[in-house]
Amino acid sequence: MNNLYIIAGKSGSGKDSVSDKLCTDYELRKVHSYTTRKKRKDELNTHIFVTTKEFDKIRNDLVAYTMFNGKEYGATNKQVNESDLYILDKKGILYFKEHYNNYKPFKIIYLDVPEFMCRERMKKRGDSIEEIEKRIQNDRIEFKGIEKLADVIISNKYFLSCVCDIWEYIQKCEVDSRKKMNKNR
């Protein structure tokens, strides 16, 4: 891929599920960011889980960083440059735009999902009612204005349609990117 595709969305919007499906079906590579949070029950290969002390060792190499619920998340330049997809929240996107060296151009895809669906998805993955409500309240504040940062907004009411829409968008961006590179030769 010529571009990096940043997937953003509120808690329960399906970011991991969508990006995992894109990786499986189209052989894309996803950034597995470092995090100080604990692994969820039945969670697969979504992050590199580290202690705060281990996270401190890579802190100066991070081009993406955010803190959520008191837990840190971040990725290095090398991780980003070797990947096609990256899941970030709004704060992470803002940090990334300021610190990334732009080796790869990037596009921001925002997954739009009704709040009631996010709640249901978080329940299914085992989040407590308290945790769900805390995330919903936080997301109402943290994601305000995210649409202005996004290059495209795609609905994830229907999972397979969402994956197809994102893949079509990626293909279009890749074609445009190749045309631009050929024009600049």
Q: What residue segments make up the domains of the chain, in order of their start? A: 4-29+85-183
Taking all residues of the chain, what is their mean pLDDT, rounded to a whole number? 92
Q: How far apart are CA 8 and CA 180, in angstroms?
A: 26
Residue positions counted in the chain? 185
In order of 84, 92, 97, 122, 181, the CA distances from 162 in angstroms are 17, 22, 25, 18, 28
DSSP 30: B
Do residues 8 and 93 lie in contact, with contact meaning Cβ atoms separated by under 8 Å?
A: yes
What pLDDT sits at residue 125?
Answer: 87
DSSP code per residue over 55-112: HHHHGGGEEEEEEETTEEEEEEHHHHHT-SEEE--HHHHHHHHHH---SS-EEEEEEE
Q: 4-29+85-183 adopts what CATH topology?
A: Rossmann fold (3.40.50)
Instruction: Tell me: pLDDT of 178 over 90.
Output: no
Average the pLDDT over each of 15-29, 34-48, 97-111 and give the range with the smallest value.
34-48
Average pLDDT over residues 43-48: 77
pLDDT, one tens digit per residue, over 29-44 is 999 999 999 887 776 6
